[in-house]
Amino acid sequence: MQENIFDDNWLEKLNEVHIEMHKIADHLYEAYQQEKIDEARDGLKDMQIAFVKMTNVLDEWE
């Protein structure tokens, strides 16, 4: 039997922010491909916020 070294709640939080980052990245990529450069650039703020969330979740793991 495999030992469960990660808390299920922590893994769920990690997965949620991971999905959020992909959604933001997809939106930024689409905006860039449609030559909506300002929209893509402005969206980087959302990616930065998601990155901070990811860092916070990772910091919870000990």
Please write the tens of the pLDDT for every residue from 47-61.
999 999 999 999 998
Provide the number of structural domains found in the chain: 1
How far is the first Cα of the chain from the last one, in angstroms, to the nearest whole number? 22
Q: How far apart are CA 35 and CA 33, in angstroms?
A: 5
Residue 1 belongs to a domain: no
In a domain, 33, yes or no: yes
Q: What are the tens digits of pLDDT across the range 5-49?
A: 888 999 999 999 999 999 999 999 999 999 999 999 999 999 999
Which candidate, 20, 3, 17, places its Cα nearest to that of 60? 17
Distances in Å between the alpha carbon of 9 and those of 14, 26, 32, 44, 55? 9, 26, 35, 28, 16
- What pLDDT score was predicted for residue 21? 97
pLDDT band of 1, cuts 50, 70, 90: low
Classified as helix, coil or strand, 11 is helix
Flag whether 2 is in a domain: no
Q: What does the pLDDT read at residue 31?
A: 97
Does any domain span residue 44? Answer: yes
In a domain, 3, yes or no: no
Provide the domain limits for residue 37.
8-60
